[in-house]
Structure 1
Amino acid sequence: MKQLIMIGKGGHSKVIRDIILAQGEYQLVGYLDNAIESYYEQDDLFFDNLNNINKYSSDHFFIIAIGNNHVREKIVLKYGLNIEQFATLIHPSAIISPFSSIGRGTVVMPLVVINADTRIGNHAIVNSGAVVEHDNVIEDYVHISPGALLAGGVTVGELAHVAIGSNVLPQVKIGSNSIVGAGATVIEDVPSEQTVIGTPAKPKE
């Protein structure tokens, strides 16, 4: 079984650990986190500082178990691992079209639906119960939060965050580094670097 190291040891990592166990493709062998001061072992796992990642990079796969989009990007850029060294983790309860594609370092949580001809980029998160309909483009480092519903033909730019329980209508484009607030209904395009809230979604004052 392929050996996997988790980067990050917060609450998000607990859910990803469950996905690793359920998927059965990888064996979790340890954690790397900057909050860990020195190497130790516990419960058949090792724990080490993230700055020691080069000790493990030649013979392990990795997943970044951090919900913050910008932190995931920062880690990828700082440590320079090959994209092929990152796992793609999909919970068995997710329904994934065979005509969709999902990038490296991306995590698909329980009960997600991803439909035909949708492309999910690298290091994205599609969180529990989200629905990503046909012909969507979800770019790198995006977070689609629990219960979000994206209709057909939606585009979500790099580093954008679609928050919990939000709805995005067909053909809408959400710009890079933008935020769709919790429970919002997006009926028109959202420019990059903008936060929208409410129903219908409007720029946050």
Structure 2
Amino acid sequence: MSQRLGIIGAGGHGKVVAEVAERVGWDDVVFFDSRYEAGDRRHGHWPLVAIPEDAGAHPCDGYFVAIGNSRSRQQWSEWLVSRALPLVSLVDPSAVVSAYAIIESGVLVAAGAVINVDSHLAQGVIVNTRACVDHDCRISPYAHVCPATALAGSVVVGAHSWIGIGSQVKQGIHIGDDVMVGAGATVVSDIDDKLTVVGTPARSR
């Protein structure tokens, strides 16, 4: 039986999500996006339809929010949950995920990522391509661990934080909410909420 996944958000990240979805068995993928109103009917290889105004429009077996902006991702995730529409997680078959990790709803674990034992990914988290989340990490809601990033053991990442591509975080570090860690940074000390840090070692900008 065909299984339809509705993806909200037709950007480049959405294309990555769609391919992961197909690799894990969703054989009918459709995008919901406002671009439909501008006349677009496809997003790359997949059909594009108008964002549903009610739960009955374009029914799907599951839904995923593929929006990079964490606040928008949260807003749409809560919209789905409030209508009792199934918000699913997607884990690429090439990812290595511990049987003892916890993955909440709306999470993407992309190709080549590693999630080690007793780590916890909260709702709406993105662990992107080839990122590594070591043992006992806590990734808070709607945070994004970018491609090729490495978190050592027992790292805490706050809600809506962005851990930039290729960055490294020392074991036991606590990163606050709404933090931006620049690409390639090396984080060796705790970071307070709402800071942007860059460099090696990472410092507030």
Given the two structures, how large is their TM-score scaled by the length of structure 1? 0.90
Shift of 1:76: 2.6
Match of 2:30 in 1: 30
Match of 1:115 in 2: 116
Say if 2:5 and 2:60, in contact at 8 Å, map to a contact too: no
Q: Percent identity?
A: 33
| Partner secondary structure for residue 4 of structure 1 | strand
Superposed CA RMSD in Å reads: 2.3
Q: Report whether the alignment pairs 1:67 with 2:102.
A: no
Say if 1:106 and 1:122, in contact at 8 Å, map to a contact too: yes
Q: Distance in 2 between matches of 1:51 and 1:71?
A: 16
Shift of 1:18: 1.1
Q: Report whether the alignment pairs 1:160 with 2:161.
A: yes
Shift of 1:101: 1.0
Q: Which amino acid aligns with 2:139?
A: I
Q: Distance in 1 between matches of 2:149 and 2:46?
A: 34
Say if 2:63 and 2:85, in contact at 8 Å, map to a contact too: no
Cα deviation, 1:25-55, whole Å, max 9, x if unaligned, reads x233421112211898669965322243523
Say if 1:57 and 1:81, in contact at 8 Å, map to a contact too: no
Q: Report whether the alignment pairs 1:98 with 2:99.
A: yes
Q: Distance in 2 between matches of 1:58 and 1:51?
A: 9
Q: Distance in 1 between matches of 2:180 and 2:102?
A: 24
Change (3 A) 1:79 1:4: closer
Shift of 1:77: 3.7
| Partner secondary structure for residue 34 of structure 2 | coil
Change (3 A) 1:85 1:35: same
Gap regions ≥5 residues in structure 1? none
Q: Distance in 2 between matches of 1:13 and 1:53?
A: 22
Q: Which amino acid aligns with 2:183?
A: A
Gap regions ≥5 residues in structure 2? none
Change (3 A) 1:58 1:15: closer
Shift of 1:132: 0.2
Q: What is the aligned residue count?
A: 203
Q: Which amino acid aligns with 2:99?
A: P
Output aligned runs, 1:8-157, within 5 Å: 8-24=9-25, 26-37=26-37, 46-56=47-57, 59-78=60-79, 80-81=81-82, 85-157=86-158
